[in-house]
């Protein structure tokens, strides 16, 4: 996971967590990154200061799908990660997993061709961008530490 310092067109600063630099670029260009203060989707990376952890403040957690890379998680980030896990669980609770049919099923629901219900699944960056352009509200869910083997 990469943490970026972000800034919106109204100069509000905030942070965002992304799986990769490419994920930020895709989500930002699709209008999926929004300022929590004003809702602006005109968001860019701000200058970041390096985060240097001392030996007392770091815990080692394996990176998703990578056995040899590790990341130091400072104690103040643990509470944030736990809250993210709770939010993600609440979003998925009662939601139907439609797998790789996500884009198709989201369109069917949006256009009244399928019953309205909560669904989740997988979509390519191109499919996600197309859904947003069609006015279909979607939310990318982060892959959090400990969720992948």
Residue 145 lies in a domain: no
Instruction: Reply yes or no on whether the pLDDT at 12 is more than 60.
Output: yes
pLDDT in the model for residue 117: 93
Q: Report the relative pairing of strands 59-62 and 13-18 from DSSP bridges.
A: unpaired
**114 domain-assigned:** yes
Per-residue pLDDT tens over the stretch 86-118? 988 888 898 999 999 999 999 999 999 999 999
Q: Is residue 115 domain-resident?
A: yes
In this structure, is residue 69 part of a structural domain? no
Is 96 domain-assigned? yes
Using CA atoms, how far residue 23 sits from 4, 20, 85, 109, 124, in Å, is 12, 5, 19, 26, 11
Domain assignment of residue 51, yes or no? no
Classify burial at 24, counting beta carbons within 10 Å of its beta carbon; exposed 0-12, middle 13-18, buried 19 or more: buried
Beta strands at 70-73 and 59-62: parallel, antiparallel or unpaired: antiparallel
Dump pLDDT digits (tens) for 38-93.
888 888 888 665 555 555 544 444 444 444 455 566 777 778 888 888 988 888 89
The pairing of strands 13-18 and 119-121 is unpaired
Whether 59 maps to a domain, the answer reads no
Residues 80 and 40 placed together within one structural domain of the fold: no
Helix (H/G/I), strand (E/B), else coil: 83: helix
Look up the domain containing 17 and give its range.
2-45
Q: How many domains does the chain have?
A: 2
- Residue 148 lies inside a defined structural domain of this protein: no
Token pair recorded at residue 137: 């509200």
Phi/psi zone of residue 119: left (φ > 0), alpha (ψ -120 to 50 degrees), beta?
beta
């Amino acid at each position: 996971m990469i943490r970026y310092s972000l800034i919106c067109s109204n100069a509000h600063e905030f942070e965002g967590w992304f799986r990769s630099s490419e994920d930020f670029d895709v989500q930002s260009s699709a209008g999926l990154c929004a300022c929590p203060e004003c809702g602006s989707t005109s968001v860019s990376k701000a200058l970041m200061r390096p985060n240097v952890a001392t030996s007392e403040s770091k815990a080692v957690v394996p990176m998703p799908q990578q056995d040899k890379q590790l990341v130091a998680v400072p104690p103040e980030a643990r509470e944030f990660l736990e809250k993210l896990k709770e939010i993600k669980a609440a979003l998925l609770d009662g939601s139907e997993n439609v797998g790789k049919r996500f884009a198709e099923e989201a369109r069917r629901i949006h256009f009244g061709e399928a019953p309205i219900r909560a669904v989740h699944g997988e979509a390519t960056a191109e499919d996600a961008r197309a859904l947003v352009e069609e006015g279909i509200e979607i939310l990318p869910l982060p892959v959090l530490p400990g969720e992948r083997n």
